[in-house]
Structures are given as C-alpha cells and as structure tokens.
Amino acid sequence: MDRRPHGRPGQVALIGVTSTGTSTGTSTGMSAGDTSIRGLARTLLLLLAGLLVVAYAVGLVVKGSGFSPLVDGWLAMVSEWVPVLIAWLALRRVGGGRIEVALAAAALTANALADTYYLASTDSGGAAPFPSPADAGYLLFYALMLGALAVLVNRRLRGSAWSVLLDSAVGSLGAAAVLAVLLSPVLDSATSGPVSLTMAVATAYPVLDLLLVAAVAVIVATHGPTSGRRWLLLVAGLLVFAAADTAFALLGGGYLVGTPLDASWNIGTLLIALWVDRSTTPLPLPSRPVTNVSALAVPAVSTLAGLGVLLLASQVPVSGPAVGLAGATMALAAIPLVARQRVLRLLARTDDLTGLRNRRAFNTDVPLRLAASEHRHSALLLLDLDRFKEVNDSLGHDVGDRLLIQVGIRLSQQLRSGDLLARLGGDEFAILLGDSTREDAATRAEKLRSALAVPFTLHGIALQTSVSIGISLYPEQGQDVIALLRKADMTMYKAKTTHTGHKVYDSEDDSHGDIRLRTLQDLRFALTDDQLVLHYQPKVDLVTGDVQDVEALVRWNHPTRGMLMPDQFIELVEEAGLMHALTQEVLRKALDQAAVWQAQGHPLRIAVNLSASSRVDMELPERIGAMISARGLTAAALTLEITEEFLLNDRDRARAILTRLRGQGIRISVDDFGTGYSSLAYLRDLPIEELKLDQSFVFPMVDDARAATLVSSAIALAHSLGLRMVAEGVDNMAAYDKLIGYGCDFAQGYHLSRPVSAAVLDDWLAARGAPPELVPAAPVAPAAL
C-alpha cells in the first residue's frame, strides 16, 4: 500500500561498516547458545519480511480493483513495520550511541507513521487527501536520512567530507535535470499558472530520492569496490523508490491505494532490509577513502546528463526548470574539477597506506631543503623494521599494513618543524633532519628506536618491533639525495647485522654493503640448492654416560667460502625474513637423519632450535606433526629448543603454540637459560621439560665460587620443578666432575664432542657403545597430515 518510499535501513548497516568490531549492543559474555538463538531469530525475521512482501505483491494482483482491508490494510501495514523493526534491531547491534544510526532508524519510523496515517485517512474507494499531514512525515524521513548520511560522511572521510557532499550535490542536480525532462507535463502545468502545493510535493519526492541515491553512489565510489558491493542492495532499493515516486508524480492527484504500483515500494523496502542484515557485520579493515576513476563516476555522469539536457533544449522545447537545473549542474561541476587537480597532484606525492610523503615526494623535496640550507649540516636517516616480513607471512598483510600505519604515526610524533618524513616503500622510512650534526642525528635515532620499541597491539596480538637506522651526513657524505640514500642504506644494513640499532656511515661500509648483497643472494640460493648441512653435538647423561639426545646445529657449505658457522649468516637470515624457510629446512634434515638412525637400530632424540619469530606461526605445531608422521617417527624423537626471547612479547600466543606441540609428545627445552630477562613464572605456566644452562655460567664455574653457586642453585631449581637440566659449554674434565657433584642431568660441550657430521657422530657413538632404545616420554597422538 505504501505510497511513499520506506526508510533506508541500509544506512544503519552502513554505520556497522565503520565499527572496529566492538558492539555495545552485544554482551561479551553471551554464550554460544544465546548467539545461535539470536542468529536464528534474525534469520526468521528477514524471512518473514520477504514472505510478507511476496504475499502483499501477489495480493495486489489477485484481489482485483477496489480497496481490500486485508491486503491494502493489514498486510500493507505489517510489511511496512517489519523493516522498522529490522532497523531498530540493527541499531541495537551496533550500539545506541551512534548518532547516524539513530537518525536512520528515526527516519524509518517517521516514514512508517506517515504511511499509517495515510492509510487511516483513505476512504473506501482507495482515495486519500493529498497533500496531507502524512507528507510532513515523509519529508521528515528525508531530512533525517540526509542528516544520517552527512554525519556518516563527516566521520568516515574527515577532510574529504565536503568533497563528497559537493559530488552528491552535482549528482542530485544532474539527476533532477533529467527527472525534470521526464516530468515536463507536470512542470509545464505548474509554470503555466500558480505553482500548486500538490505539484510541488509530488515532484519533491523523486528528486529527494535521487538525492539520496547520488549521495550513496558517491560514498560507494570513494570507499572502493569492496565496501561498494555492500551498498548494492541499498542503491537498488532507492532506485526502485525513485521510479515509483516518479510514476506517482506523473499521476498527479489521481493516485488510488490498492494498485500494483504499491508493491514497488515494498520491494524496495525488502532490498533495503536485506542490506541492513548484511551490513551490521563490520568489514575486516575500515574502508579508506579511495580516489580513483570510480570516485569520478557520479559527478562525471551527472555532468554529462546536464550537458545532454542543455543540448536537448537547443533542439526541442524543454521546461524552464529542467534547463535551470542542467545549468546549475554544469556550474557546480566546475568547482570539484579544479579541486581534483590539486588532489591528484597531492596523491602523486602521498603514500596510499600511511598518508606520508612517498619516495617521489621525498626525492623532490630533499634537494630543495638541502639547497635552502647549503651552509648548514643535515642528516638523512633510513629506517627499516626488523623481521617485518615475518609479520606479513605469519599474521597476514592486513596486520602488517596496520603496523606500518602505526609506525608512521609514531615517527610523525617525533618530528621537528624542519624535518621531512617519508615512506619509501615496504617497511622502509626515511627522515631528513634539518640543521643536524653527527651527534644530533645519533641522539634522534636513539629516540626514534625507543618510540618504536613500545609494543603495538594489533589484531589482538602484542607486537614488539625494533628498527635499524642508517645515517648519512650532508654535505660531508653526499651532495644529493641519491648519494645520501645509498650510503644510509648500506649503513642501515650494517646496523641490522651487527644489532647496533643505528650507525653513522663511514667509508668501510661501502665494502660491507657489497658483501652483504652478495651473501644475501647466495643465501636465497642455498636454501633451495641443498647447501645447508647439519652437525650434531651429543648430550651425555651424567649418571649413566649414555647418549640418547643430540642437538642439530646448522652450517652453510658455501661453494666458494667454505663451511660457514651460524654467526656468519643467521643475522642475515633474520634480516631477509628467511627464518621460516631456514627452520623448515633444518627440521626436514634433522627428521630425515632421525629416521635413518631409527632404521639403523639406535634411535636418537634430536633437538632443533626454534627462533623467536616462530611465535607468530600458529600453524607450526600441525606442520611439525605432519613432518614427524610422514617419516614414521614418534614425536618423542624431537626436542624443540626455545630461548626466553620466544616468551617476551606475547606469552599467551607462545603458551598456545608450546602446549599444542607438547600435546603431540614433542619435548620443549629452554636454551641459554639464565641469560634472558623474562619472568621465571614461565617455568610454572608453560609445558617445559628441560632447561639448558648457558655456557656463560659453566665456563667460570671451576674458579669462581659465585658462578658455582649460581650453577648449583639453577640445577636445584630445575629439579624442584621436575625439569631436566643440561649444562652447555662443558670444555674440561673439572667442569664435568663438578656438574656430576651438583646432580646435573646432562652435559654438552667440547670436552665431550664438538658438533660433527652424522657419519662422524656414528663412529663416536660406536666407540662408546650403542645407546639403548629410546622410550617415548608420553603417549603420542597421530599427527594429521
């Protein structure tokens, strides 16, 4: 029965898109059963709305002419108020404090109340007075709806809000110009005499409909394709209303309730209700304003429409209002065209993700700054996040992008008025410090590192990042931006590999940069060309003298440089984000060797080091379980050694990974025990079975009474917690005897055996006597492949 377009619940859902995922209308303590019941109720409500609209449309067709109390009365009103209920429930889901949502829900309510009054004033023949007080409710709907859109645009697009409103105005004027041509009979009648209230109200409705459609279309264009798809139902619903209102305007005062035209408004209502349901769930990332070809679509099409109307007016008679609207469209469209030229120039210099200068802008602005301060000293700082690739690989580019945005904000907060900050690409940032000496640059670099050392909370995970900074000085070390960037780049990688945090360029860094680049290229090839080899160092049982455990240590058999130790390439592995690949390769080789020893009848448990970066890899337990199972081994054949750094940033995530690994039967050992800064509470909370006392305590133990006390206390602590203790760095017989006296469980060091190849270890074991069969420490569940 609806004569006027229903409300737009889509705006309610639109607000949900801006949410960060926290809804004040949903209890955080809601049980799974409550959530399921509410979801079912929500689905049933939408299904009911659809059935009511279908029943109403069918009823209008089959009932014949005349007013039907059942179809045109009760069924029309029920199908009218169900979308209102959907809107208020959506408001409850996204939170009652959202002004734009409340405006949208109020608009729907005003529309439904107006329809109810309109129905009550309809006579038995289906006619109703027009205009009537109901029209005040319909016009209030538009005012509230436009207010909701204005609030949303201002909140979502901030500085771009007026640009969007201007585009909406151009779109609505262009649409109104075309509509004025279609409504020529009505407008000609109005302009031939006094303008009647009936004609003005009837014409206002389709114009206001198209104003909303234009505003929505502009926002869709500026939000990009992902969020735009979520607006299709809303736009479709508004277009259905606009078409129905145009037909209503052409009927003038001859409209009767009960015709099939009424079904158009209800179909539009259903489309918008579906949009409400789909849009109450927030997008994974808040949509950012996107200025591209799609953003120009609405004003461009509207400008062409206005031009078409003016051309038509030059050939055939066109009503005066249509010509006036077309002229206003062309005049208003010229304003954003000028502004867009400035915006496009700005975008060419702006990083899309962080909003900072991009490389192009930095390379343009730095020479100007240097020329303006040619008699002053300046410094160029090149910053690169450490192990950023692991964040992208393990947590996804979504989290990586959020981290880069937050890094840009923190760096911006450290700038002075004469400094320039840019994101050059990836995780690389550059800062030009004006009027800065060598000492000033080093001090500022330290402050920047401290600012970024504060943990970031992203995607529910606490991430503590670090940054390496290379510094080049102007004019001593370069006269242009290219030379300064090149030297800062070499120095930055030197700071990264030496873990110094920041470094000022000196002439030795040129050769270091070349060596680093060649080594990095060789390392990538080594991971795929089987150049990495494992050596094994035995752990001797201090009670029985048996060897049941060995530690796998990686070596790089470089084709030209020979056998390289880990300290010659591990830092580069971390820097290049290759630690996951290296860990997989070491695990593969270690488990292959474990399978060989098992087939030979003297199985050994192999310990493999797990880097701190593995903490973010939640799929690691399943992947390791699959590798063990594929080789026919038990999980007891593997020990994973972690450092206390593994536990520093995100204890809950580390606990989850370690618990799942231990649940498979894999032993967990803490390497370099006593050298970290983590709370000893992890010994109580985490599924750890073994501690490896760092060699820095064992080396001085024989001659230093305090060191000996620390060793004996650490062993007693481990035993009191039911943990095994392994002493590293046992390089002489005196240390070996002392450890036996302290009750240490295992020893590992050069006095017993250096790390050797598997073949050499076999000979060494044969000389001592084969070890007994390895007994699994715990039942092992089959690992899923």
- For the annotated catalytic residues, the residue numbers are 728
In contact, 242 and 209? CB cutoff 8 Å: yes
At 206, give phi and psi (nearest 5°). Answer: -65, -30
In contact, 321 and 180? CB cutoff 8 Å: yes
**Beta strands 502-504; 420-425: pairing state:** unpaired
Q: If DSSP codes are grouped into helix, strand and coil, which group holds residue 504?
A: strand
d(CA 168, CA 189): 29
d(CA 234, CA 228): 10
Residue carrying the six token digits 């009932």: 63
H or E element that contains 489? helix 481-498
In contact, 724 and 717? CB cutoff 8 Å: no
H or E element that contains 534? strand 532-541
H or E element that contains 672? strand 667-673
At 609, give phi and psi (nearest 5°). Answer: -75, 135
Helix, strand and coil in the chain, % to nearest 5: 60, 10, 30
In contact, 216 and 230? CB cutoff 8 Å: no
In the structure encoding, which two tokens stand for residue 165, read together?
């409103």
Q: If DSSP codes are grouped into helix, strand and coil, which group holds residue 605?
A: strand
What's 314's DSSP letter?
T
d(CA 443, CA 439): 6
d(CA 580, CA 511): 29
d(CA 537, CA 518): 30
**Cα–Cα distances in angstroms (integers) from residue 232 to residues 245, 292, 601, in the given order:** 20, 19, 67
Q: If DSSP codes are grouped into helix, strand and coil, which group holds residue 116?
A: helix
d(CA 170, CA 215): 10
Q: If DSSP codes are grouped into helix, strand and coil, which group holds residue 724?
A: strand
